[in-house]
């Protein structure tokens, strides 16, 4: 198996995020990527630098106006001139514009050219600060997913994208939950361009709301997510079992929310149900959105998986024997994510 990562992904170095009304130390640390890369190298997996694909692959799932915003936001923010007010060290929203949107239906571009207005429009929460090098890291993280996808398209095998920042909370035109560009959706779109029938299975602790939203009205991309019950957990507003898709996509979205405190056994029942849905859909390729924030000691987890759980997930997904792009999503206990990846790969490769 090949893996892809570039040092540019370490440039994003957030200084803050909001949790329960307090500015906290960031969870998405560059050291996360070091731990995962070390685990790959210890397993003998070659880690390759992705090519620079520019913005074109991202435009398959994101609006041009949103990408324009991400690329230019920090420079415009630092140039902001307001009497008696200096801009903060990072771009953060202070507006939450009401939008009664329909999943799968595009919003218009932000009607105001103000960087303050656009920040409120395109960033949905206070976990996505934009610093001087954030755009470069976002872009190169997406390139990592694209490179892994191209490897799978060339070989019909599997490849791992060490994406950081993560992506599954990023909507077509909105950042959230540490995610700016949807790497899993970008990979799925690129697979779809060749194969025409693709599934995304998300096993992160959080619902993959951005991925769901991007494909919600389509019947050629199946989206499945196992995650903690969102009634009391991010992203709160989506991830419920009744959300099944819209229009042509009705029946092509499956959410499997789990009680908080769920451990290996119940989680694996949900994964088995998700894998069966993927098998019944009979896709030509698979994207696995892989998160380790379901680990029992993760600082933001409400689930209770142990390391053996990730081996079991690997076995179950590997047994599908589909061309598979594995895209890294969450996992914030740096000491655990390397061993978790090693266990996942052990199970995945044994089942293949």
pLDDT band at 18 (very low <50, low <70, confident <90, very high): confident
Per-residue confidence (pLDDT) for residue 166, from 0 to 100: 97
pLDDT at 83 over 90: no
Per-residue confidence (pLDDT) for residue 97, from 0 to 100: 80
Arithmetic mean of pLDDT, 41-53: 95
Per-residue confidence (pLDDT) for residue 25, from 0 to 100: 81
Contacts of 32 (CB under 8 A, 6+ apart): 164, 331, 332, 334, 337
Here the tokens at position 246 are 């819209």
Q: How large a percentage of the chain has pLDDT more than 90?
A: 89
Over the stretch 182-201, which tens digit does the pLDDT of each residue have? 999 999 999 999 999 999 99
pLDDT at 100 over 70: no
Over the stretch 135-161, which tens digit does the pLDDT of each residue have? 999 999 999 999 999 999 999 999 999
Arithmetic mean of pLDDT, 18-29: 82
Arithmetic mean of pLDDT, 39-51: 95
Arithmetic mean of pLDDT, 42-48: 94
- The residues annotated with a catalytic role in the active site are 169
Q: What is the pTM of this model?
A: 0.96
pLDDT at 104 over 80: no
Per-residue confidence (pLDDT) for residue 96, from 0 to 100: 85
Q: Which domain holds residue 250?
A: 2-351
User: What is the total count of domains within the chain?
Assistant: 1
Residue 291 belongs to domain with CATH number: 3.40.800.20
Over the stretch 227-251, which tens digit does the pLDDT of each residue have? 999 999 999 999 999 999 999 999 9
């Amino acid at each position: 198996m090949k893996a892809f990562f570039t040092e540019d992904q370490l440039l994003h170095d957030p200084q803050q995020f909001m949790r329960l009304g307090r500015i906290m130390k960031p969870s998405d640390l560059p050291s996360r990527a070091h731990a995962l890369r070390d685990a790959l190298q210890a397993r003998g997996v070659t880690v390759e630098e992705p090519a620079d694909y520019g913005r074109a692959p991202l435009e398959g799932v994101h609006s041009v106006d949103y990408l324009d915003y991400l690329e230019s936001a920090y420079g415009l923010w630092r140039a902001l001139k307001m009497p008696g007010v200096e801009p903060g060290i990072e771009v953060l929203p202070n507006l939450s514009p009401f939008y009664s949107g329909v999943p799968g239906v595009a919003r218009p571009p932000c009607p105001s050219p103000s960087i303050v207005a656009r920040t409120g429009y395109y960033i949905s929460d206070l976990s996505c600060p934009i610093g001087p090098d954030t755009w470069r890291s976002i872009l190169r993280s997406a390139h990592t997913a694209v490179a892994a996808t191209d490897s799978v398209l060339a070989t019909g095998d599997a490849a791992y994208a060490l994406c950081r920042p993560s992506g599954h909370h990023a909507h077509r035109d909105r950042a959230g939950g540490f995610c700016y560009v949807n790497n899993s959706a970008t990979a799925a779109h690129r697979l779809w361009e060749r194969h025409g029938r693709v599934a995304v299975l998300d096993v992160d602790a959080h619902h993959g709301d951005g991925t769901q939203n991007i494909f919600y009205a389509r019947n050629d991309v199946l989206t499945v997510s196992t995650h903690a019950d969102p009634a009391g957990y991010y992203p709160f507003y989506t991830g419920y079992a009744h959300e099944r898709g819209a229009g042509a996509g009705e029946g092509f979205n499956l959410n499997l929310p789990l009680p908080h405190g769920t451990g290996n056994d119940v989680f694996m029942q949900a994964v088995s149900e998700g894998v069966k849905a993927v098998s019944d859909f009979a896709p030509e390729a698979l994207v696995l959105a892989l998160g380790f924030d379901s680990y029992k000691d993760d600082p933001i987890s409400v689930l209770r998986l142990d390391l053996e759980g990730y081996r079991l997930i690997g076995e179950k997904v590997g047994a599908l024997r589909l061309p598979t792009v594995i895209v890294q999503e969450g996992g914030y206990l740096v000491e655990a994510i390397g061993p978790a990846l090693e266990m996942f790969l052990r199970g995945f490769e044994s089942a293949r």
